[in-house]
Amino acid sequence: MEDNQGQDHHSPSNHGTERSEPVRSRWTPKPEQILILESIFNSGMVNPPKNETVRIRKLLEKFGSVGDANVFYWFQNRRSRSRRRQRQMQASGGTSNGFANSPSSYLVGSSSSSGVVGEDHGVESLFSFSNQMGFQESEQTSGVTSILCPSETSSLHYQTAGFITIFINGVPTEVPRTPLDVKAMFGQDVMLVHSSGVPVPTNEYGFLVQILHHGESYFLVNISAV
């Protein structure tokens, strides 16, 4: 019956849609939020320390009300279910390609020794010591690097004036709402394609004709390749 897991917990994240909701018992993550969370989890940060959790929460807030506790729970459940599925798969010769979990590459540098970074238990031990820390304010726990964009490292977190957050190749990125010069920003022979597969039109100078939409996913693709 501990009160909380070291995470601030409580703060039930009123996430109410600023309306008179009698009770909305549970947080329903927006698709964009899931995208961010998955992105972080798959990058190898399967158990973010408290300070990272806070940063993640702040990023998520751009897409809807969330509390640190929600983030904490999400990772806890994600780890747990990932492990369980892994187990069940092994117990039944699952040839099926699981997309579900694949925290394959880690940026963790320090803790060496152990060999294969196979599955969870291995991962778990890798990070286990970085969890309890209740301090380490502005320092990365170990070799753990955040995948959040730099703009997040500073303060200021609610929807910045002229900027929106979109996903480029899966990475949350801030871009000005202003007509964007794609060529100047990303290179000569590339174009942006919306996740639905529809290219984002540009004029003959390479400027976007259409504005990008906050929260959407886009991919940079080589023109010669498409």
Partner DNA sequence: GCAAATTAATGATTTATTCAAG
Partner DNA sequence: CTTGAATAAATCATTAATTTGC
Q: Is 11 in the site for DNA (CB under 7 A)?
A: no
User: Of these, 133, 171, 184, 223, which contacts DNA (CB under 7 A)?
Assistant: 133
Handedness of CA 167, 105, 73, 146 (dihedral sign): negative
Q: Is 75 in the site for a copy of itself (CB under 8 A)?
A: no
How many Å separate Cα 105 from the centre of its chain?
15
Q: Is 195 in the site for a copy of itself (CB under 8 A)?
A: yes
Kindly state the number of chain residues that form the binding site for DNA, as judged by CB under 7 A: 38
Q: For 89-197, where are the E strands, in sequence order? A: 163-168, 171-176, 190-194
- Beta bridge partners of residue 172, listed in sequence order: 167
Interaction with DNA in 22-61: which residues (CB under 7 A)?
A: 24-29, 34, 47
Q: Using CB distances below 5 to 8 A depending on partner kind, what does residue 83 bind out of DNA, a copy of itself, none?
A: DNA
Please state, in angstroms and rounded to a whole number, the distance separating the CA atoms of residues 41 and 103.
Answer: 7
Residue with tokens 């890798």: 126
Q: Is 117 in the site for a copy of itself (CB under 8 A)?
A: yes
Angle between helices 120-128 and 68-90 (to 10 degrees): 140
User: Of these, 93, 115, 134, 150, which contacts DNA (CB under 7 A)?
Assistant: 134
Q: Which residues are at the interface with DNA (CB under 7 A)?
A: 1-2, 5-6, 12-13, 24-29, 34, 47, 69-70, 73-74, 76-81, 83-84, 101-106, 124, 128, 131-134
